[in-house]
Amino acid sequence: MINNIAKFIDDCEQNLSQKFKEVNEIALFNQKKVLEAFRKNNISQRHFIPTTGYGYDDEGRLALSKIFSEIFHTENAIVSPLIASGTAALSAALFGILRPEDYLYSISGKPYDTLSEVISGTSNGSLKDFKINYLETDIKIENENIDFDYKEIEKNLKKHFIKLVFIGRSRGYEWREAVSLKLIENAVKFIKSISPETIIMVDNCYGEFVETKEPSDCGVDLIVGSLNKNPGGGLAPTGGYIAGKDNLIKLVAGRITAPSIGMEVGSYAFGYTQILQGLFMAPHVVSGAIKSALLFGEVFEKLGYETLPKKNCQDFDMIRSIKLNDEKLLIDFCKTVQKFSPIDSNLSPEPWDMPGYSDKVIMAAGTFIQGASIELSADAPVREPYIVHIQGALTYEHAKIVIEEILKNLI
C-alpha cells in the first residue's frame, strides 16, 4: 500500500540516480557528435529555406543527408520528409536493393506486423509478389538473455546466397530485451566471415542516440529509421532516413523517386527548420525518454509487476514494457496516458481492429506530431498477458506527472 504517492515516486528516482547519471553521459557524448556534424557542414539560415517543384539544388535536403552521414559515420544518406514512416523507409530500402529470386533473411525473428505485410503480404505488391524469397530465424532466449541463433544462421548462409540480412533493433510487441549493439557487432562479424557479400541492414527505430554508437559503427551496411521517433527530437513534422554505403543508397534513391533521377530532386515547401532543430535536440530528448522509461520500470517493479528491460539492465531502446495481467487495467492505463496528454486529452482510446495487426490494439498518444513515438505514448495488443508498451516523452516531467495519475487510479 502506498501512503504517499509523491514520496514513493521520489524514492524511486533516488534509486535511479546512478542510472540517470549514465544516461546523461551518453546524451552529452551524442550531443557533441551532433553539434560537430552541424558545425562541420556550416549549417546556416539558407538551409531552412523551403523549395517547390523539383527542388533542384535544395540546400536543406542536401545538408540533412550530409549531417546524417556524419553522425552515423556512413558514406551517404537519404533524409526526406517525403518518407512517411519507418515502415515506408524500410520498404523503400528493401525494394531498392532486392531483385526477383533474391533471399531476404531476418535473423531477429518475425518483423513487426506492418513490415511483415511488406515482406510477405498476399497480392498487395509485397516482396513476395515480386518473387523475393524470405527466411527468418527467431532470437534465442535462454535464462531471459537473448542472442542470435548462430547455428541456424550458419546453416542458412551456407545453403543459400543470402542477398540481405535484416535485423530489427527494437522488439515490437515481443516480450524480450531489445538487441544491443554488441550483439549486432558480433552478428556482423559472424555473417561476413561466412558470406562477405551479404548486405546487412538494421531497422534502427527507437534506438538512435540510446548508446554512444550506432549500428553503422558496428559494420552494418545500411541503417533505417523514422524522424517521428528519436532523431526527429519531437519537432520533425514527418520523414525518414536511410544511411549507409554509397552504392546501396543510390539504389534506394532510385526507388524513392525514379532510377533515372535518384535524390537529385525533392522539394519541401515548408522548409527544414523543424527537422534540423529536432535533430539537434534529439540526444537530449532521447535521454529524457529513457529516464522516463526507467522511472516507469522502477515504479511498477516496486509494485510487483514484471517489466522489461529488467531492473539493473541497460536500455537498448527507449521502450518500457509492463506485464499488467489484466485487461481492464491495461485499458485504464492507456486511457490515463491519453487523459494527461497535452493534445486530445478529451479523447478516450478504445481497442480497435488496426490495419496490419492480428489482435485489437489500444493506442494512447496525445501528440503534437501525429503518431510520434518520441512523444509520450502507450499502446498494446489486447491479449493475454496484457502487456503495455510505453515509449517517448518530450519532457521527463510530463512522464512523472502521468505516472502519478496512473498510481492514483491504481490505488
pTM of this structure: 0.95
Domain 5-29+279-410 has CATH 3.40.50.720: no
- pLDDT beyond 70 at 273: yes
For residues 164 and 97, the answer to whether their CB atoms sit within 8 Å is yes
Phi, psi of 267 (to 5 degrees): -105, 165
Residue 175 contacts residue 321 (beta carbons within 8 Å): yes
**What would the CATH number be for the domain defined by 49-270?**
3.40.640.10
pLDDT at 410: 81
Q: How confident is the model at residue 404 (pLDDT cuts 50, 70, 90)?
A: very high
Intervals of CATH 3.40.640.10 along the chain: 49-270
Q: Please give the full DSSP string across 144-211, using - where no structure is assigned.
A: TEEE--HHHHHHHHHHS--SEEEEESS-TT-SSPPPPHHHHHHHHHHHHHH-TT-EEEEE-TTTTTTS
The distance of Cα 247 from the centroid of its chain, to the nearest Å, equals 24
Percent of the chain surpassing pLDDT 90: 90
Confidence bin at 356 (pLDDT 50/70/90):
low
In the chain, CATH 3.90.1150.60 covers 5-29+279-410
Per-residue pLDDT reduced to its tens digit, 33-76: 999 999 999 999 999 999 999 999 899 999 999 999 999 999 99
For residues 192-219, average pLDDT: 97
* Nearest residue to 248 (alpha-carbon basis) of 116, 56, 69, 61: 69
Residue 411: pLDDT over 90: no
Instruction: Give 3-state DSSP helix, strand, coil % of the chain, rounded to 5.
Output: 45, 15, 40
CA distances to 35, 75, 264, 355 from 66, in Å = 13, 9, 14, 35
Please give the average per-residue pLDDT across 181-210, as a whole number.
98
* pLDDT score of 109 more than 70: yes
Confidence of residue 124 (pLDDT cuts 50, 70, 90): confident
Find out whether 390 and 377 touch, Cβ atoms under 8 Å. Answer: yes
Residue that is written with C-alpha cell 550506432 in the block: 214
pLDDT over threshold 80, residue 327: yes
* Least confident range of 172-181, 239-248, 388-397: 172-181
The confidence score (pLDDT) of residue 66 equals 97
